[in-house]
Each structure stands twice: as structure tokens, then as C-alpha cells.
């Protein structure tokens, strides 16, 4: 549907008229899309976090995540991990929401996002926060890479699945 002028909208740079898309001002339309992308990102981040969390539970990594908040309890680590996953899902949703109908672009971006999160979070922030050496490439780091890549793929795939109802 082509945008139409709405002469009763608040004054804007268009001489007192705002563009309208599907009965909604362009600003409200953009906000609506951003909120949708953000929530889809949160849900997809939790989905990716659950899958990555299962891997972390099997390898004893949740206790390390719990250490970020002064605990060594795996359940606490799981909750912290899901909160972090939801946050990074939100960022991904906002950044990539406009591409959520393009599965290969989204999956590629998910892999890159997982890699970025591994380098910045897994190799830099977490070790520094815990007083450990950064950029340690040991067995745990490689399992962390696999988990972050898996997170990114599940995140992107879930974003795509959540957008399937859009037309």
C-alpha cells in the first residue's frame, strides 16, 4: 500500500502533514516494527540460550557463569545465562529484524553474532571479570565457541520462524 498524506497529523517537516502507512503514521509504524523485532529477539535469545545452556550444563560451564554474580550454583548460572541471552537476542532482533524474512542472511548474521559474542564475552569480558587470563584458547574456550555459534544459529532460526506469519 502506498503511503498517503494525513492532513490531520501533528505538524512535521512536511508542512503540517505526516506520512501514513496502513492508517498509522510512519513514526508509529517504525516504533511498532522495532517493538516487534525487539520482542522476537528476546524470545529467540531465550530459545538460543536454552539450547546453549543445555550444552553448558553438560560441560559444567554454568557454574562459571554463576561466578559472574558471586555464586557457584548451576541454577543461578542458568538464570544469569538466560538473562544475558535475552539481552543479546534483543540487540540482534533490533539490528536484524528487518531481515527476518531472509533466512540465509539471518543465519549468516547469527553465526557472525555468535562469533562476536564469543570473542567479546567468552574470551575478554568473562575472564577479565573473573580475574582470569583473557584469550585463553583451551578446550573450554573451543566448547564455548561451539556454544556461541549454536546460540547464534538458533537465535537466527527462531527469529525467522517467529516472522513467518508476516506478509
User: For the chain, give me the number of helices (H) and strands (E)?
Assistant: 6, 3
The per-residue pLDDT for range 87-127, each reduced to its tens digit, is 999 999 999 988 888 899 999 999 999 999 999 999 999 99
Enter the C-alpha cell of residue 131: 580475574
Model's pTM, two decimal places? 0.81
Q: Measure the N-to-C terminal CA separation of the chain; round to a whole number of Å.
A: 12
d(CA 97, CA 7): 31
Structure confidence at residue 29 (pLDDT) = 63
The residues, ordered by sequence, that sit 6+ positions from 1 with a Cβ below 8 Å of its Cβ are 21, 22
Asked if residues 143 and 78 have their Cβ atoms less than 8 Å apart, the reply is no
Amino acid at each position: 500500500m502506498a503511503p498517503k498524506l494525513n492532513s490531520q497529523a501533528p505538524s512535521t517537516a512536511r508542512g503540517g502533514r505526516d506520512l501514513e502507512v496502513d492508517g498509522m503514521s510512519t513514526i508509529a509504524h517504525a516504533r511498532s516494527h522495532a517493538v516487534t523485532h525487539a520482542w522476537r529477539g528476546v524470545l529467540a535469545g531465550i530459545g538460543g540460550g536454552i539450547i546453549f545452556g543445555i550444552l553448558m550444563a553438560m560441560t559444567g560451564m554454568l557454574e562459571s557463569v554463576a561466578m559472574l554474580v558471586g555464586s557457584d550454583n548451576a541454577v543461578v548460572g542458568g538464570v544469569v545465562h538466560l538473562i544475558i541471552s535475552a539481552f543479546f537476542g534483543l540487540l540482534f532482533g533490533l539490528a536484524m529484524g528487518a531481515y527476518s524474512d531472509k533466512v540465509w542472511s539471518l543465519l549468516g548474521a547469527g553465526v557472525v553474532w555468535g562469533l562476536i559474542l564469543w570473542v567479546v564475552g567468552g574470551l575478554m569480558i568473562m575472564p577479565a571479570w573473573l580475574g582470569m587470563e583473557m584469550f585463553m584458547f583451551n578446550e573450554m574456550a573451543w566448547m564455548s565457541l561451539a556454544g556461541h555459534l549454536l546460540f547464534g544459529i538458533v537465535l537466527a532460526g527462531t527469529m525467522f520462524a517467529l516472522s513467518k506469519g508476516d506478509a
